[in-house]
């Protein structure tokens, strides 16, 4: 093999690698949006009712009511076991997970993120890798798109309670570590590993 062929092979490998990362990032972002959409369609009306009390308090303190999209964002992050910080009357905060604390069927939401990440990790790795490690790595690339949206959701869904410094917001640390990294890396990788069984 000549030196020019070696360089050509190296370049095509790099393009394939960049293409795989881009495919994983796009798939990860689409997966996050799909999961959020499922949560919204499934629970938006219940979230709207539940937010009535919080919105009332916020309006009394000079703020705005909580939009449903923010409440669904909290719920979707809660499905990744990311707690929501809620200010207390005493000036502190308490952590609450609306999914695990709910008895009306919201607990079923905890299967949505792992399921969609597994399926998309499988799709990303399908037909593209030969050994198990490379398949798992391909599936885990969904984290590249899932992480920014998880962090963005944690920041954008924060809601100030009136004109005070208090805010209701998802815990940013667990939004990064659990929702943004652990979930897509683990379940995407498992989907990537499973892709071989379908070929």
The pLDDT tens digits for 65-113 are 788 999 999 999 999 999 999 888 777 888 989 888 876 667 889 999 9
Q: Is the separation of the CB atoms in 96 and 86 below 8 Å? A: yes
Kindly report, residue by residue over 105-150, the tens digit of the pLDDT.
Answer: 678 899 999 999 999 999 999 887 678 899 999 999 999 999 999 9
Q: Is the separation of the CB atoms in 175 and 150 below 8 Å? A: yes
CA distances 161 to 5, 76, 77, 99, Å, are: 63, 21, 20, 22
Cα end-to-end distance, the chain, whole Å = 32
**Domain spans, the chain:** 3-198
| Nearest-angstrom CA–CA distance, 114 and 150 | 14
Instruction: Give counts: helices (H), strands (E), the chain.
Output: 8, 4
Name the residue with tokens 């990744």: 80
């Amino acid at each position: 093999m000549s030196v020019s062929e070696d360089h050509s092979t190296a370049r095509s490998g790099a393009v394939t690698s960049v293409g795989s990362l881009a495919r994983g990032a796009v798939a990860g972002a689409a997966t996050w949006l799909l999961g959020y959409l499922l949560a919204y369609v499934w629970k938006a009306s219940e979230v709207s009712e539940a937010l009535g009390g919080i919105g009332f308090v916020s309006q009394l303190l000079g703020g705005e009511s909580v939009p449903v999209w923010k409440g669904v964002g909290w719920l979707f992050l809660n499905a990744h076991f990311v707690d929501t910080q809620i200010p207390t009357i005493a000036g502190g905060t308490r952590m609450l997970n609306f999914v695990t604390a709910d008895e009306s069927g919201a607990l079923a939401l905890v299967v949505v993120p792992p399921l969609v990440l597994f399926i998309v990790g499988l799709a990303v790795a399908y037909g593209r890798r030969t050994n198990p490690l490379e398949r798992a790595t391909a599936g885990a690339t969904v984290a590249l798109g899932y992480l920014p949206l998880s962090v963005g959701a944690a920041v954008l869904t924060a809601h100030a309670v009136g004109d005070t410094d208090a805010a209701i917001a998802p815990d940013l640390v667990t939004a990064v570590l659990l929702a943004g990294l652990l979930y897509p890396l683990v379940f995407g990788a498992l989907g990537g590993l499973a892709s071989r069984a379908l070929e």
